[in-house]
Amino acid sequence: MIVAVVGPTATGKSDLALDLAEALSGPRAPAEIVNADAFQLYRGMDVGTAKVPPTERRGIVHHQLDVLDPTQDASVAHYQAAARADLDAIAARGARAVVVGGSGLYVRALLDEMNFPGTDPQVRARLEGRAETEGRRALHAELVRRDPDAAASIGPENTRRLVRALEVIEITGQPFTANLPRQEYVRPAVQIGLDCDRPTLDARVAGRVDRMWSAGLVDEVRSLASPAQGGTGAGLGTTAARAVGYAELLRWFAGDLTEDAAREAVVTDTRRLARKQMGWFGRDPRVQWLDAGSPTLLADALAVVRAADAETLPAPEDRPVRRSLGS
């Protein structure tokens, strides 16, 4: 049974994951943690992503941290393959995997049935050409004929998604909706969500940003940014440059914001991110929510895990009968 700790940023997911990993470790098979935060994949992006420092990981093995250079663009499909391989290896060792992260798409890609059809540059170019010559509504009308459910969720103004849907249909021979993620675990799992009321979460976010500033966030971003961005490093790729805490400081370095405005923007954008994450995970009925501020949080989480473990055992009538030696 995989244990996943999910929810909004600044709710204490990393701390709970460490506590759970310690509590769920066996004498021969310590539990291991698998990261599901898209930006903690990047080397050097430590302060701004609230990555647990190696000295504070309590000797627990962590996977999917520091596996990309900041100049690289992250790929959900690549993450899925690599992180699932980690889960396989952890299971082969007889250990428990504790997944932790607030990147909803990455959590779903790791735990759920989710396929990533390839791309065909020629097919895509042809469809994009049709969008230019025939118009987007012609592509939408075709999607209505070939996959009405997909057409109902993709508006006629969204050229990029229209092209992608028709591309997938042509490549796979299946409806686009057949490749969409399903709320169906690929292996037994339980998701524990951390939540708290909005004023408390807003205060936590502000406190986190204060700590990040004190811990050297400005120097970290400057060391990663390219000279053209006001820094000394090789620069941040498209994905990394969008990370909250980095995008705002890059705007400051470029002269678009003052330092005070950049700092306030980090707070505002982090709060916005937290609400987006809450919306994402809140739509999944399988998440079992706990109060992030509860004094019995670890005990509450362990109770959820024990209940989930029990559900995976065969029913009493299906279990093999154990007979004593004298029977």
State the pTM of this model: 0.84
287-306 pLDDT, tens digit each: 999 999 999 999 999 999 99
Rounded Cα gap, residues 275 and 270, in angstroms: 9
Contact 87, 98 (CB under 8 A): no
Return d(Cα 24, Cα 18) in angstroms, integer.
10
Q: Confirm whether residue 255 is marked as ligand binding.
A: no
**Confidence (pLDDT) at 95:** 97
* 320 has pLDDT over 60: no
Residue 326 pLDDT greater than 60, yes or no: no
Whether 121-180 and 2-114+183-312 are alike in CATH topology: the answer is: no
12 is in an annotated binding site: yes
Q: φ, ψ for residue 326 (rounded to 5)?
A: -90, 0
Residue-level pLDDT at 321: 38
Taking the domains of the chain in order of start, what are their residue ranges?
2-114+183-312, 121-180
Q: What pLDDT is recorded for position 10?
A: 97
The CATH fold of domain 2-114+183-312: Rossmann fold (3.40.50)
Q: How many other β-carbons are positioned within 10 Å of the β-carbon of residue 240?
A: 26
Is the pLDDT score of 310 beyond 60?
A: yes
State yes or no: 8 annotated in a binding site.
Answer: yes
Stretch 134-142: mean pLDDT: 95
Q: Assign a CATH topology to domain 121-180.
A: Histone, subunit A (1.10.20)
Q: Is 9 annotated to bind ligand?
A: yes
| Token pair of 3 as six digits | 């244990």
